[in-house]
Structure 1
Amino acid sequence: MTKRFAQPLVAALTLTLSMGISAANATLAPAPVYSQTMLDVVTALQQGHYNQVAFDDSLSSAVLDQYLETLDPERSYFYTSDIAEFEAYRNQLDDEILAGKSNAAFDIFNRYQQRRSERIDYILTQLDHAEWDFSLDESLSTDRSEAPWPVNQAEMNELWRKRLKSAVLSLKLADKTADEARDILRKRYQNQKQRMEQTKGDDVFESFANALTHEFDPHTQYFSPQGSENFEINMSLSLEGIGAVLQAENDQTKVVRLVPAGPADKGGQLQPADLIVGVGQGADGAIEDVVGMRLDDVVSKIRGPKGTIVRLEIIPADAADRQKRKVISIERNKVKLEEQAARKRVLELTRDGKPFRLGVIEVPTFYIDFAALQSGDPNYKSTTRDVEKLINELRSENVDGLVMDLRNNGGGSLREANELIGLFIQRGPTVQIRDASGRVDILGDFDPKVVWDGPLAVIVNRLSASASEIFAGAIQDYNRGLIVGNRTFGKGTVQTLQPIDHGQVKLTHAKFYRISGDSTQHRGVEPDIHFPSLYTVEEIGESSLDRALPWDQVRPVRHGRFPSLSPFMQQLIDRHEQRTAQDPDFVFMRKQVAHLAEQKDNSMLTLNEAKLRAEQERNEAWMLQAENERRVGLGLPPISQLSEADDDLPTDDQGRPINPEAEAILAESGQILLDLIDLSISHTAAAQPLRTPALSAE
């Protein structure tokens, strides 16, 4: 299955999906400014990008394929004859790009305008006159990324007839009447036609330039002047609204991640990989369909004044039934930076009748108040300073071990990741950075002070990225503690913004490497002990992105190591598996992961109403049974419908719903740390005591 190219920085995208096009009777042409702009983009790529790519026929061919996929990812607009005609450009685009030309891109786009307009007109006509028989045994492929383009109008019409029928059926199963479904879809496509007429040349040029930049890596991007403004707005306002980073995926809006301590994060109802299909204003405003809407338009509808309510109609990522929707309410607010700070708690566990107290420090992001630091404020706020204070407080509470929780931590300050590692080791290198010229810089901790030298575990998941991966990788390379959870995101690249006369270019200019020499790029950090996860590497993470830079290695850095954890590892894994085999939460999570995998393997969607309803009922019954089995195992009363499961969730001290699976993972991480303490005590005299901070030279 071909992966989608999707930049997750919200409204900067303009044409990555088939939204922005002009009317069929109008054509767009390159403006004179695009010539120099293309040359500026090429210069930036050649001189500043980490990945050196030759401007030759191979690149030309790849850019053509990427541009066509950008415009028509589901191969449902262009005909086979169009694609055959575009073949004339396959080995010419590199020459045009180097000459500062984009004529071919506009020619292709103008044909796309025509085909898109034809399809919308067809749909609007069908909505006025067509009737649908939902008792027929028809089906529709949900993945046409590698399907052949339609050969003729009859084949194209048949594809779109089924797509429209599927959309009507989906709305019907969402309790819409036939007339309501027609109205919703008519408005959806009329809005698309209106937006088509608003497309400008900058939109087309930006789309084509990004087909080029994407061949270097998925994080490199050209922003037009309007795109640059949107990008800067989203960066500066990233802590306002609901606190969610979104991206466009096909005709839908996908949640990439939640801003720690933001309104969506606190609400606990919106999760990464959820799809947003509708937006409503206020507590009772009508839900507006946003399927097929440009990403920046969706973002503008979700944004709003602090204290107001926005309602989102979503398809949850963990929904076994991808037709099932639910509406959630979020109060818009501005994230308070102090709420993003590291925080602590004490986890109390019992082992063989003996009580244990484990300190837990959650680090939502790697932050530092640079302004306060540069002004000389001795009390400037930073991750490392806050964590050091929390560790000292936990030490005074006589905790037996420490758990660092980096789940969903998307990164932040490299300086803070480096200094945080220093709280757990005496001194030594922490990370390597290689630039485009091949020069490798090594960062390290040179302060011999160790704030915590006791048993340590670090929890990570698929959304732990960048600086989180540097921290976890270093802890693992030093044998300083156990890494538990899931394979991390795998973002081991560094970007910078380079202004040009007409917009700006975001460039990948360096790459991170662990002190072992392994890159964190693409593969991320593999935990010592794995937990079940709903986030698959095919859907979330660096490896899910086309053209992601590969994993590779540099020379390892000479560094010390704490006594190896290898003698304990198999016993730790065995104890974990034995314990969780009967744990109701882990049994539920593993069942859910397996069930969702089975659902995703089926790429055909039935258009038979009775069959689709039966599938929905089976999926809901399965989820209800699995949830009740979990609840009975935990000594909780069973529920009669799934919505009740959200009603009795406990909340933390900040009023956020406590996710039972997240709590189960934390508790099991604590149990694993207790296993490590137990095994280290009973280990042979030849083993170093776990608290010994001495390092062996390598």
Structure 2
Amino acid sequence: MKRNFKILVLVLLFAVASCSFTTKTFNDPDKDKTLVELITYVLENGHYDSKDINDSFSKEVYSNYLEELDPMKRYFYASDIEEFQAYEDQIDDQIKNKDISFFDLTYKRFQQRMAESKEIYKEVLATPFDFTEDEVLEADYDNRPYVASKEEMKERWKKQLKLAALGTYYDKIKEQKRGLEENPEAEKKSNAELEAEAREITRTSLEEYYDFNDDLQRKDWFSVYVNAIVERFDPHTFYFAPTDKDRFDMAMSGKLEGIGARLQKKSDNIKIIEIISGGPAWRGDEIEVGDEIIKVKQEDEKEPVSVAGMRLDDAVGLIKGPKGTKVTLTVRKVDGTVEDIDIVRDVVELEETYAKSSIVEKEGRTYGVINLPKFYFDMGDYSARNAASDVKQEIIRLKEQDMEGLVLDLRNNGGGSLKTVVDIAGLFIKEGPVVQVRSKMDGQEVLKDTDPSILWDGPLVILVNELSASASEILAAAMQDYKRAIVIGSKQTYGKGTVQNVIDLNRWIRNSDFGDLGALKLTTQKFYRVNGGSTQLEGVKSDVVVPDRYSYIDIGEKDQENPLPWDQIAPADYEVWNDYVGFEETIKSSKARMAKNEQLKLIDENAKWIRDQRDEKSFPLNFEKYKTELEQDEEQAKQFDRISDYKSNLTYKSLPYEMKMFSTDTVLAEKRERWHETLAGDVYMEEAIHVLEDMKMNNIQNSKLAEIRD
């Protein structure tokens, strides 16, 4: 879970990678050994805070790697760990000597233990569970020991599977009870039958899990080992295998070339799980969610290729392709019929990653809202669509609707392009510094807005939370230091004050037999606010602090392993925005409102409850005790249902240009309707509008006083 979160949230700031360190030749014929040597070279010469690769480093890699392979300690035995420990302080030497024997040993053993575990789970699930036994599963996996025997391993699996089956069994009993209340004549299954169904569902889920793992190749597990090494430098240094790099590029640019559908592998089948609005599949209206892809045929090939049993990544690779090319999919439709469908590939815009805006009226005044999910850009062409140009366009459109105040929503925005941050900041200030950057090789630099024009000089509020990271923090920090905007949100933002470059590892290699070696994202710089302080670890502290569901959960940079430290440098030369009147009074008024807000009090109580639930490490395997605990939790949870019932008296609506699109794009219309409903129940957005109103009124009153004095 930790790794998934890091990959989701901590993204690139600089896209253009430059390597000024000495060119080196890599001649080893073994691809894996070359990869380790090359990555080590790049890390030692290019990382902002390069580490000594010594025994201490080795022990950290050893621990991290085994945790990645077997986090729940249900594969390896104590005897395996005893054998592995001979390498605990040797990995540093192996790295330097291009020796991968530790990986080879653990990989072969892991494959062996995985195969053994298949037999274990099948044996366990062949026998009914006794849910009357008074057993408990202790789920403190970090502190649980490795098992010493097959009997202990079977017992560990039994408890884990029993908990999974118990949850399903509980749900089935509730479902049957509800069904009998609605229809007393319905067939009533025995508890034994329901238990058997619960075990079967558990078995099916495990088979899908093992199908996924069976699709993984040696190179996939080698990537896990490589990342155990590179992540010791800091949490954001990461090795991208070739397929991972493709996904990263797509996520940053917000587009891909293909058919415009999301796929999922279920058992041996590739199924359509989403049709992307505006894409070729959506426009053709022949493919639908639930269709199963059987074969794929390229326009220059005579015979189609079967994708049955194929790895999902490989199937996606066949279906994706350059804009304008044709692909023929043989699909089994939802109704069971089989059809050949021709689709011309095109650039598919992932609309949900782009900036979107709304207008809201309050007491005769019009305000604007811009939601920015990430600071996106095209890695190959910055002049193409990017976050800065889109935000600029939305502001222009909102001004045409006589907007009197703007909310920029950066909640859950994990970052992106640094250039787009500087460009967006320039929309709100006169020319001046936006962020300071310190590099290992190039020293210190101040990135400035050089355009003296200001697109929006009115009231500005920025919304943030604990998941606002990196580029989001730069923008929020700059606007806060200039006193250009009031920042509303969590106690602090994520706290990522480092800059990453993505280095194409193929630039050093001339051996065509290797294929694509992928890329390395490594930390090359730290950035600092214009006031001199770093956002590293500390993040941006909101002017108005409000609780949210993440308030008591450890998810920030400070909660990651081996983050770089906080520090500060001299402030840049900048002038505080002086066009606001009553700036501090507005913040004070907002704090007073928030302190009295009953919705926020309820949210704070819910956040504490979520923390307590997440900290739970012991689970009963006795049905009655499980039922009692679950019902108590459900009863406690009911008190927080009112959170989703909250509605403000504000109404949000789309801009005219978007409303014209709704007649032909009903999917977009539905998405906007859902977004507006969410905004109407958003207490943070409601307060942001209140703050804009206060800022506007303060300035109006000041203008009238000035007129009287004149």
- Taking structure 2 as the reference length, the TM-score comes to 0.70
1:477 to 473, 477, 481: 481
Residues 244/537 of structure 1: CA separation in 2 closer, same or farther (3 Å cut): farther
* Cα gap change, 1:530 to 1:153, in 2 (>3 Å): same
Cα contact 1:41–1:505 (8 A) shared by 2? no
Q: Name the CA distance, whole Å, in 2 between partners of 1:87 and 1:457.
A: 54
Pairing partner for 1:362 from 363, 368, 371: 371
Q: Percent identity?
A: 31
Q: Give the 3 Å change call, closer, same or farther, for CA 365–64 of structure 1 in structure 2.
A: closer
Aligned CA distance change for structure 1 residues 135 and 41 (closer, same or farther; 3 Å)? same
Counterpart AA for 2:85: E
In structure 2, how many angstroms separate the alpha carbons of the residues matched to 1:460 and 1:243? 31
Once the two structures are superposed, the pairs formed by residues 199-218 of structure 1 within 5 Å of their partners are 200-218=217-235
The answer as to 2:565 corresponding to 1:550 is: yes
Matches for 1:376-415 after TM superposition, within 5 Å: 381-395=385-399, 397-415=401-419
Alignment of 1:174-189 (within 5 A): 174-175=171-172, 177-189=194-206
In structure 2, the partner of 1:457 is: 461
- Using the alignment, how far apart are the partners of 2:246 and 2:124 within structure 1? 39
Question: For residue 427 of structure 2, what is the amino acid of its counterpart?
Answer: L
Native 8 Å contact 2:647 2:681 kept in 1: no
1:605 and 2:602 aligned:
no
* Bigger Rg over Cα: 2
Q: What is the distance in 2 between the residues matched to 1:211 and 1:133?
A: 40
Q: Secondary structure at the match of 1:117?
A: helix
Instruction: Give SS of 1:347's match.
Output: strand
- Would the alpha carbon gap of residues 488 and 79 (structure 1) be closer, same or farther in structure 2, given more than 3 Å must change? same
1:69 partner amino acid:
E
Q: Kindly provide the amino acid, as one letter, of the partner of residue 496 in structure 2.
A: K
Do 1:407 and 1:463's aligned partners in 2 also have CA atoms closer than 8 Å? yes
2:501 to 478, 481, 495: 495
Aligned letter for 1:675? D
Asked if structure 1 preserves the Cα contact closer than 8 Å seen for 2:459 and 2:696, the reply is: yes
Asked if the contact 1:426–1:450 (Cα under 8 Å) also holds between the matched residues in 2, the reply is yes
Contact 1:346 1:358 in 2 (8 A): yes
- 1:683 CA drift (Å): 8.6
Deviations 1:415-449 (A, max 9, x none): 22112111221111111222233612211012211
What's the CA shift string for 1:63-87, capped at 9, x where partnerless?
A: 1111111111122333333323322
Go from structure 1 to structure 2 and tell me whether the alpha carbon gap of 1:660 and 1:195 turns closer, same or farther (over 3 Å shift): closer
1:322 match: none
SS of 1:665's equivalent?
helix
Instruction: Provide the residue aligned with 1:349 in structure 2.
Output: 362
In the alignment, is residue 82 of structure 1 matched against residue 80 of structure 2?
Answer: yes
* Letter of the structure 2 residue corresponding to residue 148 of structure 1: P
Q: How does 1:102-181 map to 2 (within 5 A)?
A: 102-128=100-126, 130-175=127-172, 177-181=194-198
Deviation, 1:681, is 6.9
Q: Give the Cα–Cα distance (whole angstroms) in 2 for the partners of residues 217 and 54 of structure 1.
A: 13
> 1:330-386 deviations in whole A, cap 9, x for unaligned?
xxx986367755444332234xxxx44323233344345687876xxxxx6554444
Within-5 A mapping of 1:210-249: 210-224=227-241
Query: 1:19-65 CA distances to partner (integer Å, 9 max, x unpaired)?
Result: xxxxxxxxxxx993322222112111111222211111111111111
Pairing 1:424–2:428 present: yes
1:210 Cα deviation from its structure 2 partner? 1.4
1:278 counterpart residue number: none
Unaligned runs of 5+ in 2: 10-27, 174-193, 265-273, 280-287, 293-308, 321-326, 335-345, 650-668
The farther-off stretch of 483-492 and 670-679 is 670-679
Deviation at 1:175, TM superposition (A): 2.4
In structure 1, the residue matched to 2:653 is: none
Match of 1:534 in 2: 549
Asked if 2 retains the 8 angstrom alpha-carbon contact of 1:124 and 1:189, the reply is no
Whether the 8 Å CA contact 1:432–1:440 is kept in 2: the answer is: yes
Q: TM-score, normalised by structure 1?
A: 0.71
Helix, strand or coil: the match of 2:104? helix
Which residue is equivalent to 1:320? Answer: none
How many angstroms does 1:148 deviate by?
2.5
Question: Which has the larger displacement, 199-208 or 434-443?
Answer: 199-208
Alignment of 1:589-604 (within 5 A): 589-604=603-618
1:161 Cα deviation from its structure 2 partner: 1.7
Residue 667 of structure 1 is matched in structure 2 by: 686
Q: CA deviation at 1:97?
A: 0.9
Change (3 A) 1:547 1:610: same
2: CA distance, partners of 1:395 / 1:110: 63
Residue pair 1:434, 1:441 contacting (<8 A) in 2 also: yes
Contact 2:252/2:416 (CA < 8 Å) preserved in 1?
no
Q: Please give the alpha-carbon distance, in whole angstroms, between the structure 2 residues aligned to 1:552 and 1:245.
A: 45
Letter in 2 for 1:347: V
Q: Separation in 2 of the partners of 1:131 and 1:439?
A: 66
Counterpart contact for 2:354–2:372, Cα < 8 Å: yes
Asked if the contact 1:31/1:201 (under 8 Å) is kept, the reply is no
- Aligned partner of 2:94 in structure 1 is 96
Name the CA shift for 1:365/1:41 in 2 (closer, same or farther; >3 Å).
closer
Partner amino acid for 2:457?
A: D
Q: Counterpart amino acid of 2:367?
A: L
Equivalent residue letter for 1:97? I
Q: Which shifted more, 362-371 or 340-349?
A: 362-371
Give the alignment partner of residue 536 of structure 2, picking from 521, 534, 540. 521
Taking only aligned residues, the RMSD between alpha carbons, in angstroms, comes to: 4.6
Distance 1:392 1:564, change over 3 A: closer
- Are 2:648 and 2:681, in contact at CA under 8 Å, matched by a contact in 1? no
Deviation at 1:103, TM superposition (A): 0.4
Shift of 1:215: 0.5
Q: Give the unaligned 5+ runs of structure 1.
A: 11-29, 247-257, 264-280, 286-293, 312-332, 375-379, 636-649, 690-698
The structure-2 alpha-carbon separation of the partners of 1:196 and 1:4, relative to structure 1 and needing over 3 Å to count, comes to closer
Q: 1:441 aligns with which of 436, 440, 445?
A: 445
The 1:75–1:652 alpha-carbon spacing in structure 2 relative to 1, beyond 3 Å, is closer
- Cα drift, residue 132 of structure 1: 1.6
Shift of 1:169: 0.8
8 Å contact from structure 2 (residues 594, 600) kept in 1: no
Deviates more, 1:467-476 or 1:504-513: 504-513
Q: Secondary structure at the match of 2:527?
A: strand
Note the C-alpha offset of 1:475: 0.2
Contact 1:498 1:505 in 2 (8 A): yes
Over 3 Å counting, the alpha-carbon distance change for 1:659 and 1:211 in structure 2 is: same
Q: Distance in 2 between matches of 1:41 and 1:401?
A: 49
TM-fit CA distance, 1:455: 2.0
Alignment check: 8 A CA contact 1:429 1:559 kept: yes
Q: CA deviation at 1:457?
A: 1.0
Which stretch of the first structure deviates more once superposed, 501-510 or 414-423?
501-510
